[in-house]
Structures are given as structure tokens and as C-alpha cells.
Structure 1
Amino acid sequence: MLRVSRRLMSMVDETRISRLNDEDVRGNGKFVLYWMQESVRSRYNHALEYAVERANEVKVPLLAVYGVDESFPETNERHKAFLLEGLAEAQKNLGRRGIKLLIVNHPPKETVSKLQKDAACVVVDRGYVRIVREWRQEVAEASTCAVFQVETDVVVPVEVTSNKEETAARTIRKKIEGRLDTYLKKVQEVPLEHDSPENVDLHGLQLLDISDIESALASLSLDCSVWRVKTFLGGEDQASKQLQLFLDTRLKHYGKRNEPSVDITSNMSPYLHYGNISPIEIALKVRPLRKKYPDEVKSFLEELIVRRELAFNLVFYNDAYDSFDVIPNYAKITLMEHADDKRPYLYTEEQLERAMTHDIYWNAAQAEMVLTGKMHTYMRMYWGKKILEWTSGPREAFDIALRLNNKYNIDGRDPNSFTGIAWCFGKHDQGWAEREIFGKVRYMNSAGLERKFDMKGYVRRINKIRSGHEGWENPPGLLKYFNKRSADLNGLSKPSKRRNNKRSGLPF
């Protein structure tokens, strides 16, 4: 059997490319298989362009595939709706380039293992959380052709930036910024020389028709208790619209991004999580505005590149990223020393999930997440800190915060999400003056919110979403309960200091 050389020239920087097995590229393969998993987009996608190069070199068509996994941990209707919306746009846009994207109703490992039998080689984007890394390795070990992994969802490849877990933004910033000239470059689109084949042997795999998203969702076995939202629609075209809106109307106000009463954030996190847009594309569109909005652009790029890639560094190098054990020793020790401190309030996970607390600001944040699929960035920090304060111990608090975050936020289960929860418990932070419950971990309170922000305005904004049912559709079991209760805007004041479980604010 003819085999193609292992060393292949590419326009993609070689530090983005890694081989996952020792097999060769098959010269008699019927197509190059692009396994799309993390990067659901047709633009600014190094993995896709590398796959096109390989197909052109071997003189075969390119076939793209996505395996829909109904059993992915913590997945639900909300997550899958956003995913399918993104896949529909990717399928359409790839088709314009002569690339067929098969949406297969089977787990990714099974899907790729079967289709690789006819492939010259397999190209896959890089994943970072545990389960998707395991998928790639297991597929590569079982494959009879070469499997290439191409890193395309960070600006600087994780292992190029650092060979260890970094402790804070200050330790990783220079390592990233010193490499931006090399890696922050436009991704050139490679013309495809051979269109995808009309007929493909699916080896018994079943295609999922996503021409009607509602019907496609109904055909899947999903947790439907977390309903589909319409606040954010998935897909690379939708991501581009959100980005343009940010550039045109919000970036100039980015210095006030922590103000919860107004929505001036970029809203890029759901699209970054599902790979609908590249951080490189975002950065290259924001950078030209440096002269006009120097401070705002600097702050935004710090969040988009340095802080985000610090999160990827954590998930890649610390296997405990999704547990209490991820936090640094100082935080672990001090929190456990104060684990038995008396709590001013104690709430169950169900009470927290339904926003049945005494704190109207916390309730508003929880309502925002449940109703829209995204919580304001600053409020998510306050939200996490209060779960630590109002539950029986730090380990329980960590688990509850992570479960609620992953369940309702569209950008849940992301390196940024895992890192954000860990930050609430002391990760990537420093020790502070010791106090009850928190020990030396940073404390936040409602008085601080009121001192800095228009919190009445924030509650009014969330009430408007609630009363108009904006961003949600037919929430099973919660709509009736939610509409029975409302916040008394005329009586807004600081949360009660009474030590009980009195309900107020925005329960649903």
C-alpha cells in the first residue's frame, strides 16, 4: 500500500500541529477526514485549513464530520440547541467551500473510528478538558491512519506559552505577550482542489438532520429541564453579529464593563466556548481601535488573551480543575480551618437554584443565568462567593457552584468557567485579611456592590427580562412558579441581616 511521507509542509505554524499516533498518511485513502469537535466554524480555523492542505496534497476530497454525543456530561437541551445552531451555520458555510459536513447522531469516538477506515488521514482540532482529550487519544490509538491534532482555539499554543501550571496572570502575561507577533496573525483560507464526495460509506452511522433544530432536538435523548434560550443563538454568523455590535456600540464603554445594570460586555464567551469564533479573529478586529480607545482595547485584550489563556493553562496542566482540590494550598488550608464557622444563612442547593435567598442581588444574578444562559461577569464572582458563605462547607459550596454554572450557563463546562469558579475559592488570587468562613480568601458583600454600582438598575434590568419572558421558551415546571412571585422594586434596600432563610427578591 502506498504511504505518504510523515513530514508534510503546511502554512499552519508547526507548533500548532501534533501527531497523535505513529501511523502514516494512506495514499489510497478516499478522503481526508476533518473531525470537527471544538472549533465549529469555517473561518479562522487552523485545523480546517490544515485538513484542506492535506487533502490537496494527497489529491483527495475533504470530508468533515461532527459526532453528536447525547450522553456528554451535564449536557441539556439549552447546550445542545446552541451547538446545533452553530453546526447548521458551519454546515452551510463549509458547503460554500465545497466541503461536506456530516452531522452524525453517534458519539464522536464511534463516529471517527468508523469513518477513518476509508480516510487518508484524520485531522482534529485540539480539546482541553479531560473527556475530549481522552476521546482524541483513544481514537488515535485505534486508528489505522495518521491522526493530526491542530490547536486553533487559543492565540498562543498552550505548551508554547508554558510547560507548567502558572500561578497567576502576572506569571503568564509576559510569556504570552512576547509571542503575540508570531501567533496573532490572520488565518489564510486555503482553496480546496477536490469537492467532498457525494456518496460516503457511513458504516452504519445515522445522520442527524438539523435543517429543523426543534425536530433535531426532539429526536435526541436530552435533559429538557433546562430549556432552550433565544437570548443567544449559536453559530459563526451570529458570533460575527455580536462582535460587530460590541465594536460599534460597547467597546468605547468597556471601562465600565463591571457595571451590572447595563450590558456592555462583548458577549463572546458562549461563542468562544463552542468554537463559533476564533480569539484571533476577535483580537485582530479589536486591535485597530487602539488609538481611538486605548484603555478599553488594552483591558479587553487582557481578558480575551491573557486571562482566557491562563484558564486553558490551568485546565491543561491541573487534572483537578473541576474539583475543590484545584485551589492553592493557602486557600484550601484556610477554608478548611473555617469550615465549621457559623454561617449567617444556610441554603440548600434547591433553594439556591430557585433563587430563594434573602439577597435580592444574588437572586437577580441567579435569575439572569437561568433565564438568559449567561450571567454578568462581575456578578458571577459575587454569586460564587456567596455560595461559599451560605452552604455548610467549602467543598459542598464548590460542587454546588460548579453544577449550577455548568447547568445553566451556555459557556459552562469551559476552561474559563472552571477557572472562574476556582477563583471564587482563592485560585489565581492572593491571601487577604483573615475573617470568618472565608479565612484568607477574598470576601465580597452587597455593600461593596452598592458602593460601586447601580444595583437597583441591575435588578430592574433582570425584572424586565423576567416579566417579558425575554430569552426563554416554555420552561417546564418553572414558568408557573416564576410568575407567582416578583421583586418589590419600590422596597429595594440592602439585603436583610436577619439570620434566617426569608425569601425575597426574584425566586422562580
Structure 2
Amino acid sequence: MRTLEKQGIIQKMNKKRRKELLSTNQKRDSKYVLYWMQQSMRVSYNHALLEAINISNQKNLPLLVCFTLTDGYLGANRRHYEFMLQGIKEVSNELNEMGISFVIKKGEPFEALKPLLLDADTIVMDYGYLKPQLKWRREVYDYCKGNLETNLIMIESDLIVPVKEAYEKTAYAAYAIRPHLLKKMNDYFDFNGLKEINNKAKLRIKSDFNFDRFHEELDLLKLDHSVKLNGFFKGGYSEAIKHLNLFFNNQLKEYEKRSDPSLNIQSYMSIYLHFGQISVLDIIERLKEYVFKYETNYANYDMFIEQLVVRRELAYNFVTYEKDYDLYEKMTLPWAYETIDKHKNDKRLIDYNLEELEYSKTHDEYFNAAMTEMRVTGFMANYMRMYWAKKIMEWSSSMKLAYERIVYLNNKYFLDGRDANSYMNIAWCFGRHDRPWKERNIFGTLRYMNADGLKRKFKIDKYVETVLNNYSILE
């Protein structure tokens, strides 16, 4: 697979990123253009922000950017909120330097936004794909359609190719969607940079979060404060770029060995992509620049693109076309449910309770190390994520209970949990985007993983030692 082409003249934003939901020619006594920034939490490579600035300049109106902060989103806790708000603080500073007003409004998004909608000439919002995100956007759309003469525009800025442009139905596996993405993706290298905003009038709208009292404000949020951000990762675009540069300079050349958890060959981009703090397009453009500069690592470029574009867009395809992506009864394929049902009464030799799993109290030192890394840092190497989930499946009294435990722990601890990739990766463990394997106890024909495989393939004891020395002491 060769996806690398030298960059020519950057085109204008691809019109297929833009969806005009409502349009009006009626003149209103509007005070600003409103960009509801909810998914693309960044300034750099933000197509929705670009659209909002362009409209503001056309109408000579100031631009108001609003982020809505709701308590307890989809199982998120203090770890997730602190990381997210570190990034939002950086966004706020950048926008203020550009002459763009930025506010945070607390509450359920529609209710928090409602007072701001009334004075907006045009409302720009970014895409969302999960059920809560779709619900929020539908509420804003329904209210505007029924109560306001306004313009409402939605812009895709987090994927290279918008989901329904990439593939028109559920993709059975990566092989189905890959050729379509690789053929189309060059048409979406489409960011020219942001223009300066003409009308820099300061809007006197009170924000509901004071960054000067960051931790005090965080303490007031109604959420689980027991899971902390332990300092391994910090939120924000500048932090994402630091990790990316370290990856390019030190690890890209060995990317083919990334499955070995002992080598720690990680870009950590999944964390920053989850919060929209960096764009896939930004990553690719920087990757191109690095590869052309050194005229090397072309094979590793292709492998990285496979993860960054193909596998990620496969996940968004999954949550878009499988409406019940988060339900155990709907998330995988008929053959998988058949083999699960056939083996539902198989005897489990081990049946751990949730506390034993969550706090690394099993007999398996590799599982315990992976769970500890996840619990302390909010991250785990991809191969260990698969092993971790497979062990929970093996040690739970039913596959449904295993699914519920995996989702719960995934959402609670992973910084990059609770998104399309998470739901797809969990479903993969239960057969989605996979194939039947040799039949065995408990798993039937679902893929099985064991400790012997880890020992055979990797320096797995080195991984355990790293976790014990670097992570365990911090609890």
C-alpha cells in the first residue's frame, strides 16, 4: 500500500465536509456568528473554525466560540475532564490572541447554548457520531428549525474522509473500506490555514469556567473525582505535537515492532484524537514532511496510515451504520452470537469478580500489569488491550457480563475510551471485523489469546518490570 504523494497546491476545503442544515435570507439584528465547538477542540487544522471565520468576515460580525461543559458525560471522570479542559484552556488563549471571543457554558448542551442561539446570525457546529453527540445536535437543529430564522451549518473536521463519503454501508472488515479511503483521501488534504478575523469586537458574554481557578472549578463539577490524571499525559495541541515529534524522531523507524508492549513504540495520538485536540490531517501533513525530509520509512508510513486512517475510519463506519453499536445484543455478527450461545454453559475454571479484575488481583501477571498501566496512566499498548479483554471474557461467568465489564473499565480508565474506536475494538474481541477460528471451550470460534503467545512473541517480562517500576508505586 503506497499512499504517500508529494504535496502540491493545497485546495480549498472539500465541499463534502460541509452540510447546510438550515438556510435563510431573512435579515436579523444579529450580534455575532456562533461556532459551537464540541468535538474539534483545537484551533489548528479546524475546518469548522475556518468556516466560522470566513462567514464572520463575509458578514462583518464578530465570532463567538462556545464550548458546552456538561457534568458526567458518558461515564467520564476527573481524569477525562482535567485532560480535556487543559486542551480547552489552550484553545481559549489562542482564540483570544486572534481577537475571537471564547466562552464555556455549563449544562446540557442545548440548554446551555439556547440563550446564545437567539443572537446568532449563523451557527456552525462540528460533527458527532455517538448517540449522546447526535442527540445534542438534533436538539439544536430542532430548536433552530422550529423557532429561529437562522443559518445552521455542520462541518466534518475530525476525519479525513466523511463517513458516508468513504463507504455507503457497514464495512464487513478493513479490506472492504481500505481501497475507498486510499483512493479518496488525497481529495481531503484541504486546509489552507486560518484567515485573520476582521471584526475583533469583544463580546461581553460571561464564561462559566474560570481558568485562573482551574482546579477549584474542576472540584465543583458533579462527577467521579476518584480517578486522577497522574501526570503521564497532559491535554492540549502543544502536548500532542510534543508526543508526535518524539514518535517521529525516535520510534517511527521501528513501527513494524509496535505490537511488542515492552518496546513502548507509541505515538499516543489516539488520546489527543479522542478529544479533537489534533487533526488527522495535521498528523499526516507532518508525517509527509518528515518522511520526505529523510527519504526513509516509507513502509512504516504506510503502516501508520493504516492505523490512523483505515482502522479509525472503520470504527466511525461501525458506529454510524450500526445504530446499536453499544448494545451487547447488537454489536457483533450472527456467527459470533451463534458460537457464544453454543458455548454459554461451558465451565469456567476461573471466575473473578469485578474488583479482582479492576485492581490487578488475578493469577496472571501479564493481565495484572496491563490493568495497572491502564488504571494508573489511562493508556495501554494496543496488543495488551486485546489480551486484557480476552482474559476478561475467559474469566467471566457469561459473555454478556464480560462485555459489560470491559465497557465499564474501558470507559472509566482509558483517556481514549468512550469513542468510536473503543466500541469497535471491544466488538472486535467478540467477532466483529474478525473471522471464525479453531473451536475451543468458552470462546467457541471466537479468537483466543493466552500468556504463552505473549511469551513467544515479545519480551513480555520486560513489560511487566516496566509497569512495576514506573506505575505501581504511584497508586
Note whether the superposition's TM-score is higher than 0.5: yes
Letter in 2 for 1:336: D
Task: Give how far 1:196 is off.
Answer: 4.6
Q: Which residue of 2 aligns with 1:340?
A: 345
Q: 1:233 to 1:408 in 2, by over 3 A?
A: same
Q: Which residue of 2 aligns with 1:184?
A: 189
The normalised TM-score by structure 2 is: 0.93
Please say if 1:171 is aligned against 2:176.
Answer: yes
**Which one is further off, 19-28 or 444-453?**
19-28
Q: Distance in 2 between matches of 1:45 and 1:422?
A: 30
Task: Give how far 1:316 is off.
Answer: 1.0
Q: Which residue of 1 aligns with 2:7?
A: none
Letter in 1 for 2:116: L
Work out whether residues 64 and 100 of structure 1, in 8 Å CA contact, stay in contact via their aligned partners in 2.
yes
Q: Distance in 2 between matches of 1:264 and 1:425?
A: 26
Q: Which residue of 1 aligns with 2:6?
A: none
Please say if 1:287 is aligned against 2:309.
Answer: no
Task: Give how far 1:287 is off.
Answer: 2.4
Matches within 5 A, 1:315-464: 315-324=319-328, 325-464=330-469
The normalised TM-score by structure 1 is: 0.87
For structure 2, the residue ranges without an aligned partner over 5 or more in a row are 1-10
1:152 pairs with 152, 157, 165, which one? 157
Work out whether residues 46 and 187 of structure 1, in 8 Å CA contact, stay in contact via their aligned partners in 2.
no
Where 1:326 maps in the other structure, the secondary structure is: coil
Task: Give how far 1:276 is off.
Answer: 0.3
Work out whether residues 12 and 190 of structure 2, in 8 Å CA contact, stay in contact via their aligned partners in 1.
no
Q: Distance in 2 between matches of 1:441 and 1:24?
A: 57
Deviations 1:325-384 (A, max 9, x none): 210111111112111111121011121111111100001000000000111111001111
Deviations 1:14-33 (A, max 9, x none): 21111234555755311000
**What is the aligned residue count?**
457
Please say if 1:14 is aligned against 2:18.
Answer: no
Please say if 1:197 is aligned against 2:202.
Answer: yes
Q: Percent identity?
A: 38
Task: Give how far 1:190 is off.
Answer: 2.0
Q: Distance in 2 between matches of 1:96 and 1:297?
A: 35
Q: Distance in 2 between matches of 1:106 and 1:173?
A: 40
Q: Which residue of 2 aligns with 1:80?
A: 81
Deviations 1:187-227 (A, max 9, x none): 42122111153323x6xxx6111234312211211211212
Matches within 5 A, 1:179-258: 179-200=184-205, 207-258=208-259
Letter in 1 for 2:320: F
Please say if 1:308 is aligned against 2:334.
Answer: no
Q: Distance in 2 between matches of 1:93 and 1:226?
A: 29
CA RMSD of aligned residues (A): 1.5
Work out whether residues 88 and 211 of structure 1, in 8 Å CA contact, stay in contact via their aligned partners in 2.
no
Q: Distance in 2 between matches of 1:26 and 1:108?
A: 27
**Which one is further off, 35-44 or 351-360?**
351-360
**Which one is further off, 222-231 or 268-277?**
222-231
Moved over 6 A (4+): none
Q: 1:216 to 1:26 in 2, by over 3 A?
A: farther
Matches within 5 A, 1:427-506: 427-469=432-474, 479=475
Q: 1:47 to 1:26 in 2, by over 3 A?
A: farther
Where 1:295 maps in the other structure, the secondary structure is: helix
Work out whether residues 29 and 119 of structure 1, in 8 Å CA contact, stay in contact via their aligned partners in 2.
yes
Deviations 1:2-60 (A, max 9, x none): xxxxxxxx943221111234555755311000000001100100000001111111110
Work out whether residues 12 and 46 of structure 1, in 8 Å CA contact, stay in contact via their aligned partners in 2.
yes
Task: Give how far 1:97 is off.
Answer: 1.4
Q: Which residue of 1 aligns with 2:8?
A: none
Work out whether residues 372 and 472 of structure 2, in 8 Å CA contact, stay in contact via their aligned partners in 1.
no
Work out whether residues 323 and 399 of structure 1, in 8 Å CA contact, stay in contact via their aligned partners in 2.
no
Task: Give how far 1:434 is off.
Answer: 1.1
Q: Which residue of 2 aligns with 1:506?
A: none
Q: Distance in 2 between matches of 1:26 and 1:267?
A: 47
Letter in 1 for 2:326: D
Q: Which residue of 2 aligns with 1:6?
A: none
Work out whether residues 25 and 146 of structure 1, in 8 Å CA contact, stay in contact via their aligned partners in 2.
no
Q: 1:349 to 1:23 in 2, by over 3 A?
A: farther
Please say if 1:119 is aligned against 2:120.
Answer: yes
For structure 1, the residue ranges without an aligned partner over 5 or more in a row are 1-9, 470-478, 480-508
